[in-house]
Amino acid sequence: MAGRNDHVIADALQALAQAIRNPNRGEVGGAVEYQVHYLGTPHQGLDRFQRNNPPSFSGGYNPDGAQNWIREIEKNFQVMACPEGQKVAFGTYTLVEEVEYWWENTRQCLEAEGQDVTWDVFNRVFLEKYFPEDVRNKK
C-alpha cells in the first residue's frame, strides 16, 4: 500500500515547486489546486481551508457519515467564501482510504466523458455512491 500514494506525493511536490517558482500566478496544476498570498493580498488557499479543521471521509457503508461530511465541508466553504473553482480540489483533499481511490477513478471517467467536474457534479456522484437514493428515501 505504501507505493499507492507515491504519485499523489509527487504531484503535490511538483505543485509546490511550481508555486514557489511562480508566486504571482495564484494557480498551480497537479493534484491540489490552491492560491498563494502575494503582495499582501489574501487569496483563499488550502492552508486556510485546513485551519478550519475539515473532517475527512474514508468511505465504506456509512450513509449518515457521508451526508454529515458533505454538510461540514460545505460549512467550511461558506465560512471561507470558497470560490466554486476550488471546492472540488479542497473538498476532495479530505478524502482518505477507499473513497480517495474511488474519487480518482470517478474523476478520470467524468473528465473522459467531457464533463466539467464542479462541486455539484461531485456532490451528485458522491451521494449516489455513499448515500444511495433508496437509503435517502427510507430516511
What is the residue extent of each domain of the chain? 1-41, 44-138
Q: Record the cell numbers describing residue 88, joined without a space.
A: 472540488
| Helical packing angle, 63-79 and 119-130, nearest 10° | 160
Instruction: Tell me the whole-structure pTM to 2 decimals.
Output: 0.64
pLDDT tens readout for residues 101-130: 999 999 999 999 999 999 999 999 999 999
Helices of type H across 23-132: 46-51, 63-79, 84-93, 98-112, 119-130
Q: Which residue has the higher pLDDT, 117 or 29?
A: 117
